[in-house]
C-alpha cells in the first residue's frame, strides 16, 4: 500500500534544502502510514528520553533533542544540546544523563532533562577508544544489565586486526570495566536484546571488493560471551576470505542467524515492543538497510521485518516493512535507525533526506 501523503521538501534549521522527500513513493503493508516526524541535518542513531524527547546523533558534530511538545506525532522543536564533537553517531539515555558515542571516546551530558534550551558541555566517560575513522562510528545502547554497549569496528575493509578492533564491548556507565563480549565483528552499527530471552542480536556489514553478491551482510546473535563471528577469516558463516581464510575452518566461528543481501549495509536494529501494530508483529525484528555504495546494481535502501521463530533464536520469515527510497537505480533516501516509541509507533531516521519518519498503524 502506498502512503498517500503529498511530497515535501525537507529544510534544515540553517535554511539549507535537503533531498526531496517523496512520501508517496514509500510502500508499506495495508493499514500502515508514514509521515515526517522531524526535519534535521543528517540524523543517525536515536534514543528515547523522558516525556517522549528523542535524542539524535549525527556525523555533523552535534546532537539534537527532537521534541513533540503536544504529543500529536509531529515534532515542533529541534534543540542542539551538544556540538563540536567527533562524529557523534551514537546516543543513549539513562537515569537523566545523555551518553554520546564519538569516534574516540564516550562522553555524556549530565542532567540533560533540565538542559533542553541549548548547548551544554560534555564530560568524558571513557577516552580509551581508537581514533580510526574507518568503521569508527559508535552505536550505543543501555543493556538490561544497566551497562553501556558499543562496537569498535575494523579500521579497514579487510585485515587482521589487533585485539582492540572488530569487537563489541560493554562497560559501566562511569566508563569503568570496559570488557569485550564478542570478537570477529567487522562493523556493527545496530543491536538490541530479545525481549523474552535477553540475548543480544546485532547487525554486521560484510566486507567489500569480492563482487556484487558476496559476502552477505549479517544479523547475528550472541548466546555466550566471547564468541567469535569470523572476521576477517570467515565471512557470512561459510565463506573463507581469499587472503585471510587459508587454513581456517568455518566450524570454529559462530555463523549468522540470517544472511542478508551483499552490500545492503544493515544499520539500526530493534525488536518491536509496542502494541499499536497487529498481533503478528509481536515477536518481530526491524532493521534499516542503508543501501549499497559499490554494487553495480544498488541494493538495500529499505527497512526490513523479520519474524522470530518459536525457538526465539532464528528468523523464519522476512519482508519489507518500508521500501521505496530506491527507485530503479536512483535513491532519494537512506534509512539508518529504528526506534520504538511509547505509543507503539516507530521512528525511522534518514541521513540522506534529512528527516525522521513516523510509522503508525490505523
What is the CATH number for 221? Answer: 2.120.10.30
Whether residue 21 lies inside any domain: the answer is: yes
Predicted pLDDT of residue 324: 98
Distance CA 249, CA 132 (A): 30
Predicted pLDDT of residue 237: 98
Distance CA 56, CA 104 (A): 19
Looking at the whole model, is its pTM more than 0.85? yes
Whether residue 316 lies inside any domain: the answer is: no
For residue 137, what is its C-alpha cell? 562510528
Strand, coil or helix: 250? helix
Whether residue 186 lies inside any domain: the answer is: yes
Q: Which of 139, 89, 270, 138 is nearest to 192 (CA)?
A: 270
Whether residue 282 lies inside any domain: the answer is: yes
Whether residue 1 lies inside any domain: the answer is: no
Predicted pLDDT of residue 91: 98
Predicted pLDDT of residue 15: 36
Distance CA 321, CA 159 (A): 34
Q: Which of 156, 137, 115 is nearest to 45 (CA)?
A: 137
Distance CA 222, CA 237 (A): 14
Residue located via cell numbers 498503524: 361
Distance CA 352, CA 148 (A): 28
Residue 132 has phi, psi (to 5 degrees) of: -65, 130
Residue 2 has phi, psi (to 5 degrees) of: -80, 145
Predicted pLDDT of residue 18: 57
Whether residue 137 lies inside any domain: the answer is: yes
* Domain around 49: 8-310+323-361
Residue 83 has phi, psi (to 5 degrees) of: -150, 175
Q: How many domains does the chain have?
A: 1
Predicted pLDDT of residue 230: 98
Distance CA 183, CA 239 (A): 17
Is 352 in contact with 332 (CB distance < 8 Å)?
Answer: yes
For residue 269, what is its C-alpha cell? 536494529
Distance CA 138, CA 24 (A): 33
Is 276 in contact with 261 (CB distance < 8 Å)?
Answer: no
Distance CA 293, CA 331 (A): 11
Distance CA 21, CA 44 (A): 17
Tell me 57's DSSP state.
-
Whether residue 102 lies inside any domain: the answer is: yes
Residue located via cell numbers 526490513: 304
Is 149 in contact with 143 (CB distance < 8 Å)?
Answer: yes
Whether residue 118 lies inside any domain: the answer is: yes
Predicted pLDDT of residue 8: 45
Distance CA 345, CA 277 (A): 8
Low-confidence residues of the chain: pLDDT under 70: 1-18
Say what the alpha-carbon torsion angle 50, 129, 190, 158 is, to the nearest 10 degrees.
170
For residue 73, what is its C-alpha cell? 506525532
CB neighbours (10 Å) of residue 351?
A: 25
Is 19 in contact with 11 (CB distance < 8 Å)?
Answer: no
Predicted pLDDT of residue 19: 74
Amino acid at each position: 500500500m502506498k502512503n498517500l501523503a503529498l511530497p515535501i521538501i525537507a529544510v534544515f534549521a540553517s535554511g539549507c534544502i535537503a533531498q526531496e522527500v517523496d512520501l508517496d513513493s514509500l510502500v508499506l503493508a495495508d493499514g500502515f502510514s508514514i509521515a515526517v516526524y522531524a526535519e534535521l541535518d543528517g540524523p543517525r542513531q536515536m534514543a528515547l528520553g523522558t516525556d517522549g524527547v528523542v535524542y539524535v546523533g549525527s556525523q555533523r558534530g552535534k546532537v539534537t533533542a527532537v521534541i513533540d511538545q503536544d504529543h500529536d506525532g509531529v515534532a515542533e522543536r529541534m534543540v542542539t544540546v551538544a556540538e563540536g564533537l567527533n562524529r557523534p553517531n551514537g546516543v543513549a539515555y539513562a537515569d537523566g544523563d545523555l551518553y554520546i558515542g564519538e569516534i574516540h571516546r564516550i562522553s555524556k551530558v549530565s542532567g540533560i532533562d533540565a538542559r533542553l534550551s541549548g548547548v551544554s558541555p560534555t564530560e568524558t566517560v571513557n577516552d580509551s577508544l581508537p581514533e580510526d575513522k574507518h568503521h569508527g562510528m559508535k552505536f550505543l545502547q543501555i543493556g538490561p544489565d544497566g551497562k553501556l554497549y558499543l562496537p569498535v569496528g575494523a579500521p579497514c575493509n579487510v585485515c587482521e586486526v589487533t585485539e582492540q578492533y572488530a569487537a563489541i564491548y560493554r562497560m559501566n556507565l562511569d566508563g569503568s570495566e570496559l570488557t569485550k563480549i564478542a570478537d570477529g565483528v567487522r562493523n556493527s552499527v545496530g543491536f538490541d536484546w530479545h525481549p523474552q530471552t535477553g540475548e543480544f542480536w546485532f547487525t554486521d556489514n560484510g566486507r567489500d571488493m569480492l563482487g556484487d553478491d558476496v559476502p552477505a551482510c549479517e544479523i547475528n546473535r550472541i548466546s555466550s560471551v566471547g564468541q567469535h563471528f569470523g572476521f576477517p577469516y570467515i565471512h557470512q558463516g561459510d565463506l573463507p576470505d581469499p587472503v585471510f581464510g587459508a587454513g581456517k575452518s568455518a566450524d570454529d566461528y559462530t555463523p549468522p542467524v540470517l544472511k542478508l543481501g551483499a552490500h545492503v549495509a544493515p544499520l539500526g536494529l530493534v525488536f518491536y515492543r509496542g502494541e499499536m501494530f497487529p498481533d503478528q508483529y509481536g515477536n518481530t525484528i526491524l532493521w534499516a538497510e542503508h543501501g549499497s555504495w559499490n554494487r553495480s546494481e544498488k541494493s538495500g535502501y529499505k527497512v526490513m521485518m523479520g519474524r522470530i521463530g518459536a525457538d526465539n533464536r532464528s528468523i523464519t520469515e522476512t519482508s519489507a516493512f518500508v521500501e521505496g527510497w530506491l527507485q530503479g537505480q536512483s535513491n532519494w533516501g537512506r534509512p539508518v535507525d529504528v526506534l520504538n516509541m511509547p505509543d507503539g509507533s516507530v521512528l525511522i531516521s534518514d541521513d540522506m533526506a534529512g528527516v525522521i519518519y513516523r510509522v503508525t498503524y490505523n
